[in-house]
A and B are shown apart, each in its own frame.
Chain A
Amino acid sequence: MEFKGKDIISIKDFSKKEINYLLNYSKKMIPYAKGIKFKNILNGKVLSSLFFEPSTRTRLSFESSMNRLGGKVVGFSDPSGTSQKKGESLADTIRMADSYSDAIVIRHPHEGAARLAAEFAEVPVLNAGDGAGRHPTQCLLDLFTILSEKKRIEKNKVVLLGDLKYGRTVHSLAYALSLYNVDLVFVSPASLKMPKEVIDECKELGVEPTQTSNLEKAIRDADVLYVTRIQRERFPDAEEYNRVVGTYRVDNDLLKSGKENLIVMHPLPRVSEINPEVDKTPHAVYFKQAFNGVPVRMALLSLVLGGEL
């Protein structure tokens, strides 16, 4: 399977076979991601890390991945110190990064920015989130977490909870999970339902998602509960936000109605949608999920830069 030089823009650019290959390869990266084993397979390679929007996990895990494999990182996490501030186009910024490095990772507020970057760059471009659009590496690490915890992705019942309208991770994840023929349930406040086009995509892949507002009932026989944050910035009115944000809260009391081996995932950051008391239970896998960003991104960087283990 040829990944060298490939852009990682959308999960939809990958076949199921390619995703499976990536997930298996990511597993091999775990001891390297933990610093137990060392291999400088990206020695001499430079990654441009262009973060036009805030990020904690994605940026740090990409940079950690590059460093763990012996590569170097240049870039910025705040565009105010760059020529963008002087009005430079993204296309020109990308042309520069292209000439200074061997791969580019980009997070940008405009949807489609990574696709545009890939048009102007010769080196591979990895999308670290474009506005409310795609976030393929998050999707891959979510799949990797389900695979690691449940030993398979197929035949699980997965409940997606929270802001299903604007949350970029859930759109890609619903699509990707449909490739694996899982049982999908969408739980959200009425104003934040999963968009119709995402549901249609699931149906095209042969999955009929169920939509409900009853979380307790939905998790009763679920294997995975994927929680997302309700984003305050989407609401013009604080009162309306407060009313919606409290609709669902995952706590130990709620989890009693679920299966013993139900796992709770969250792309983080969380605000109040998961009570911290859940952190200590075996249900909580969201911190492991955040760690999984490293082996998955190590696998991707290694493959697109042609430095395989």
Chain B
Amino acid sequence: MKKELKIPQIKDGTVIDHITPGNAVKVLRILRIPRGNSSVISVAINVKSHLGKKDIVKVENRELDPHEVDKIALIAPKATINIIRNYEVAEKHRVKLPNEITGIVTCSNPTCVSNANEPVKSRFRVINGDPPRIKCYYCEREPDDISERII
């Protein structure tokens, strides 16, 4: 496998692997990365793997909190989070959607109160993990184009 690496191994940091192909940039948006730090971030899109194509994100010198990263399961339900220490995988975690998602996705209902000028963040209850299904806490609408609705 090492011969096929498109982006180099990292010494310390976080690797988000098995991202649904084409969604790496959205994953970065959900995680608000980069966010005023100097971490080197590598992104590989449509990488071939034994399970088909995938995207990979590598964040150097920064260990992301796996639970913080869980919300990317919205668009990459099969992703794994690998914490790398001295080139070794020190921790591995498969993403799992939390019960509620706030401030990440806009409601698909144009007349939902969460899309009006009110001091609230969008809020969804998770009704299924994989494939992800969410329902608006306010209007109960279920968006069918989640990845297009990432804020």
Which residues of A approach B to under 8 Å, CB–CB?
10, 89-91, 108-113, 115-116, 119, 130-134, 197
Contact = CB atoms under 8 A, between A and B. Distances in A.
Contacts of B87: none
B118 A91 contact: yes
Contacts of A109: 111
B112 interface: yes
Contacts of A112: 112-114, 136-140
Contacts of A91: 118-120
A132 B111 contact: yes
B80 to A, nearest CB: 32
A116 B138 contact: yes
Band of interface residues on B: 10 to 19
Contacts of A116: 113-114, 118, 120, 138
B141 A111 contact: yes
A119 B114 CA distance: 12
B116 A110 contact: yes
Interface of B: 109, 111-114, 116-120, 136-142
B109 to A, nearest CB: 6
22 contacts: A89-B117, A89-B119, A90-B113, A91-B119, A91-B120, A110-B113, A111-B111, A111-B112, A111-B138, A111-B140, A111-B141, A112-B112, A112-B114, A112-B138, A115-B137, A116-B120, A116-B138, A119-B120, A131-B111, A132-B111, A133-B140, A197-B142
B120 A111 contact: no
Chain B interface main SS type: loop
Contacts of A130: 113, 139
A111 B139 contact: yes
A163 to B, nearest CB: 17
Given A109-B111, A111-B111, A89 B138 contact: no
Contacts of B109: 111
A133 B109 CA distance: 11
A133 B138 CA distance: 10
Contacts of A115: 113, 137-138
Given A90-B113, A90-B118, 19 more contacts: A89-B118, A91-B118, A91-B120, A110-B113, A111-B109, A111-B112, A111-B113, A111-B138, A111-B140, A112-B113, A112-B114, A112-B136, A112-B140, A115-B137, A115-B138, A116-B114, A130-B113, A132-B111, A133-B139
B128 to A, nearest CB: 13
Nearest to A117: B113
Nearest to B109: A111
A122 B109 CA distance: 27
Nearest to A108: B113
A116 B120 CA distance: 8
B116 A90 contact: yes
Contacts of B141: 111
Contacts of A119: 120
Contacts of A133: 139-140
Residue from the set B113, B116, B119 with the largest chain A CB neighbour count within 10 Å: B113
A91 B118 CA distance: 7
Most buried by A among B112, B114, B117: B112
A243 B116 CA distance: 34
A228 to B, nearest CB: 20
A115 B118 CA distance: 12
